[in-house]
Amino acid sequence: MSGVLAHLLLVDDEQQILRALKPALAAAGYAVATAETGHEAMAYLAGEACDVVILDLGLPDMDGKEVISRIREWSETPILVLSARDLEHEKIAALDLGADDFINKPFAVGELLARIRAALRGRERRFSTHAVFKSGDLEVNFATRRVALQGYEVRLTPREYDLLKALARYGGRVVTHRQLIAAVWGPAAQVDAQFVRVLVAQLRQKIEEEPSTPRILLTEPGVGYRLTPEDEA
């Protein structure tokens, strides 16, 4: 295992995509296995160790969403979904079924690598207790509930803090409206996504340099929000 950052499984039925991605992922330090069908992917996961699954939703033998729910029956391996930009409901459904994040097709390799790193971090975070989240000038200390921008303390309302904490906990991965509502208002709350939008706008006023062109708290149209992870900002 010398020098291998992580093991990836790339599931896509388009040969040309596999051909284009494999060398870059290998060059970035990952060991890459590929599968062209859902069954092939599940068979691989049953037998081999894998750290992140990169899954195209349009597979020839079965629906990609089906693959996600089948994997989630017995595995917590992070799943990163490749999807078309205009299929929001597909993405939300995939995330609800247990996918960890998604990336819009077409994408640049750098973007994919960042998502893979976030997915790997998310897995680590489950086992460690990071007390501090950093993204560029923003620093969140979960132990003291202190939020600082360029070293100066920012005063947040309890809800704003809960929202920021929820996003920071996911560390660069997308968080859906529903997940945010559960984190801020409670799991049983009947709250419209509009409330999230308002709260996000408030929070951006306090932590973004230019709230109209956010760099830290990013919108995933139709799906939810994500924080720019600590090493990318």
Partner 1 sequence: MARQWTMRRITPLRGIWRYAAAFGLVVGATLVAEGVYRLFDTDRLSMVFLAGVLITAVTLGSGPAYFAAATAFVIYDIYLVEPRFEFTMNSAEDYLVLSVFLAVAMLTGRLAGRVREAQGRAEVQARTAGALFRASEEFSSSDNEDAVRQALAQRIAEAGGGEAMVLHDSRSWSWPPGLAIPSALAELAARPASEAAARESGWRLRQLRADGVMVGAAAWRVTPLDDRPTDSPEDDEKLVYVLVDMAGAAIARFRLAAERAEMQARAQTEQLRNALLSSISHDLRTPLAAILASVTSLREFGDRFDAEVREDLTLTIQEEAERLNRFVANLLNMTKLESGALTIEGVSFGVAEVVGRVVQRVQRQAGARKVVSGIRPDDLAAFGDPILTEQALANVVENAVRFVPNGGRIEILGRSVGGKIVLEVVDDGPGVPEADLQMIFDKFFRSAATSASQQGTGLGLSISRGLVEAMGGEVFARPRGDGHSGLVVSVILPGAPS
Q: Identify which of residues 2 and 212 has a Cβ nearer to partner 1 in the complex.
A: 2
The DSSP-derived string for 23-72 is HHHHHTTEEEEEESSHHHHHHHHHHS--SEEEEESB-SSSBHHHHHHHHH
Beta carbon nearer to partner 1, 23 or 201: 23
Instruction: Identify residues 68-87 at the interface with partner 1 (CB under 8 A).
Output: 84, 86
Contact set for partner 1, span 16-55 (CB under 8 A)? 16-17, 19-21, 23-24, 27-28
Stretch that binds partner 1, among 14-22, 40-48, 92-100, 120-128 (CB under 8 A): 14-22
208, 217 Cβ separation under 8 angstroms: yes
- For partner 1, give the closer residue by CB, 22 or 178: 22
Residue 61 as a binder of partner 1 (CB under 8 A): the answer is yes
Question: What is the smallest separation between the CB atom of 43 and partner 1, expressed in angstroms?
Answer: 18
Nearer to partner 1 by Cβ, of 26 and 198: the residue is 26
# of chain residues touching partner 1 (CB under 8 A): 24
Q: What is the DSSP letter of 12?
A: -
Taking the C-alpha atoms of residue 171 and residue 125, their distance in angstroms, rounded to an integer, is 9
What are the residues whose beta carbons fall under 8 Å from the beta carbon of 31, sequence distance 6 or more?
A: 4, 6, 7, 8
Query: Read out DSSP for 186-217?
Result: -TT----HHHHHHHHHHHHHHH-SSTTS-SSE
Query: Per-residue x/- mask for partner 1, residues 90 to 119, rule CB under 8 A?
Result: ---------------xxxxxx-x-------
Strand partners, 146: 141
Shortest spacing between CB 22 and partner 1, in angstroms? 9
- Cβ–Cβ contacts within 10 Å for residue 109, how many? 14
Q: According to CB under 8 A, which residues from 211 to 230 bind partner 1?
A: none
Q: Are 102 and 94 in contact (CB under 8 A)?
A: yes
Return residues touching partner 1 (CB under 8 A): 13-14, 16-17, 19-21, 23-24, 27-28, 58-61, 84, 86, 105-110, 112
